[in-house]
Amino acid sequence: MNKVDIDLNAINSNVNYFKSLLEAETKMIGVVKANAYGHGIVDVGRVIWTSGADMLAVTTVAEAVMLRVGKIRAPIIVLGPTQEDDFQRLLDFDITTTVFDFEMAYKLSKIAKQENKWAKIDLKIETGLNRYGIKPHEVTENIRRIMSLGHVKIEGIHSHIADSADAAASKEQIKQIHSVLFSLQQNNIEIPMTHLAATDATVNFPESHFDAVRIGIGLYGYGAFKDYKDVLKPALELKSFISSVKVVAKNETIGYGRTYKADDAIRVAVVPLGYFDGYARVFSNNSEVLVGGKRVKVVGRICMNSFMVDVTGIKCGVDDEVVLIGVQGNDRIWADELAKRSETIPHEILCRIPDHLVREYHFK
């Protein structure tokens, strides 16, 4: 069976690592968007919450509702855009949403007033990513206007580091947040919870912590900060099995487009998992998996539902386990290795693992 194994103890360990970097009063927001980076939003969200996260963050209202339906009572913030059709669900499920401009706050306040409820919002500030948000010099006036609406409570303000590898640029963004906070103070406006840092900035720039940090990829065992492999534990393993074994003669080709030609007779195993299942076509003739505790090469193109590997010299047969991400024997292949092979980041490798693959959760 194709499946995804999730080590919940690894998640717990990663939460504790990031908590150890923070002052006691600094909150940790666990980011569980994109199905908890492919790990399973409800099961993993619950463990992140019970392991010590103070809040959970998602991208959509639908994700937030999934957490609520899963009986997770943690404070939840929606970081992405919210449309008017979802305003009612924000109120019904006690969800905080990010607001990018005054107009959205105004529309939300009208719905909240009709329901005789208070909507919770977090104001996004644009400091360098140039995606969403209000410019720093416009924040004070916008907060003043939003506060005058009624039925809207500003729970926080936040921005996002654009490039944590660029110290100068990151510190400039930190400086912009300080300027916003100074302006609010000068205008006698109560400063709400302020958050800026994600995984790498949390490690690299302690001065970026403010009142809270948002930890995403780090919870799942990856990062771009120095020595992350020494302190974080990858939680996800992607596994399949051998469905067929055959001998391919010298000079025969393998797969669509005949992109691989055997220099000698080789033994080939078929793995019934393909790009539909999250193993990208870019890995054609460009990756390895684990069979019998050994690395074996992918040969030929990745198909929609299968791919082939060279198992010459490996003792293996039909139904034997194949590890695409994870540990087998004394070797391991993690998502960051696959990311390098495909010139992307671990985030993409993980969150593209589709929902139809069975996820099994363990406290290893």
Task: List alpha helices for 214-261, DSSP H.
Answer: 228-231
Same domain for 143 and 254, yes or no, is no
- The domain boundary, picked from 191, 220, 249, lies at 220
Q: What are the tokens at 176?
A: 């912009």
Q: Give domain status of residue 226, yes or no.
A: no
Same domain for 207 and 151, yes or no, is yes
Q: Give domain status of residue 229, yes or no.
A: no
Q: What are the DSSP E strand ranges found in 116-271? A: 119-124, 152-158, 193-195, 212-215, 236-241, 244-248, 253-254, 260-261, 266-271
Residue with tokens 């912590």: 209
Contacts of 97 (CB under 8 A, 6+ apart): 61, 77, 78, 82, 90, 108, 119, 120, 121, 122
Q: Give domain status of residue 73, yes or no.
A: yes
Same domain for 244 and 214, yes or no, is no
Same domain for 196 and 343, yes or no, is no
| 3-class state of residue 263 by DSSP | coil
Q: What are the tokens at 311?
A: 């198992």
Q: What is the pLDDT of residue 63?
A: 98
Q: Which of 135, 246, 250, 256 is the catalytic position?
A: 256
Q: Give domain status of residue 3, yes or no.
A: no
Ramachandran bin of 87, using left for φ above 0, alpha for ψ from -120 to 50, beta for the remaining angles: alpha
Q: Which of 33, 120, 124, 239 is the catalytic position?
A: 33
Q: Is the dihedral of CA 180, 186, 189, 195 positive or negative?
A: positive
Give the chain's length: 364
Contact 78, 64 (CB under 8 A): yes
Same domain for 119 and 153, yes or no, is yes
Residue 175, domain CATH: 3.20.20.10
Tell me how far apart the alpha carbons of residues 86 and 130 are, in angstroms, rounded to a whole number.
25
Tell me how far apart the alpha carbons of residues 359 and 173 are, in angstroms, rounded to a whole number.
39
User: If pLDDT is split at 50, 70 and 90, which confidence band does 89 have?
Assistant: very high
pLDDT of 54 higher than 90: yes
Mean pLDDT of the chain: 97
Residue 279, domain CATH: 2.40.37.10
Contact 288, 295 (CB under 8 A): yes
268-291 pLDDT tens trace:
999 999 999 999 999 999 999 999
Tell me how far apart the alpha carbons of residues 246 and 268 are, in angstroms, rounded to a whole number.
5
Span 292-306, average pLDDT: 98
Same domain for 244 and 128, yes or no, is no
| 3-class state of residue 122 by DSSP | strand
Q: What is the pLDDT of residue 364?
A: 78
Q: What is the pLDDT of residue 139?
A: 97
Q: Give domain status of residue 43, yes or no.
A: yes
Tell me how far apart the alpha carbons of residues 327 and 325 are, in angstroms, rounded to a whole number.
7
Print the domain residue range for 93: 8-220
Please state, for a pLDDT cut of 90, what percent of the chain lies above it: 100
- The domain boundary, picked from 163, 185, 220, lies at 220
Q: Is the dihedral of CA 125, 127, 129, 130 positive or negative?
A: positive
Span 154-169, average pLDDT: 97
pLDDT of 119 higher than 90: yes
Span 335-341, average pLDDT: 98
Same domain for 189 and 259, yes or no, is no
Span 340-350, average pLDDT: 97
Span 139-167, average pLDDT: 97
Same domain for 144 and 178, yes or no, is yes
User: If pLDDT is split at 50, 70 and 90, which confidence band does 40 have?
Assistant: very high
One-letter amino acid identity for 259? T
Among this protein's residues, is 297 annotated catalytic? Answer: no
Same domain for 45 and 93, yes or no, is yes
Same domain for 203 and 285, yes or no, is no
Q: What are the tokens at 337?
A: 């290795």
Same domain for 206 and 268, yes or no, is no
Helix and strand counts by DSSP (H, E) for the chain:
12, 20
Span 91-98, average pLDDT: 98
Q: Give domain status of residue 227, yes or no.
A: no
- The domain boundary, picked from 168, 192, 220, lies at 220
Same domain for 148 and 73, yes or no, is yes
Domain count, the chain: 2
Q: What is the pLDDT of residue 125?
A: 98
pLDDT of 105 higher than 90: yes
Q: Give domain status of residue 255, yes or no.
A: yes
Residue with tokens 């797969």: 255
Q: Give domain status of residue 284, yes or no.
A: yes
Tell me how far apart the alpha carbons of residues 173 and 176 are, in angstroms, rounded to a whole number.
5
Alpha-carbon Rg of the chain, whole angstroms?
24
Among this protein's residues, is 361 annotated catalytic? Answer: no
Span 17-31, average pLDDT: 98
Tell me how far apart the alpha carbons of residues 195 and 103 are, in angstroms, rounded to a whole number.
23
Contact 293, 329 (CB under 8 A): yes
Segment (H or E) for 288: strand 288-291
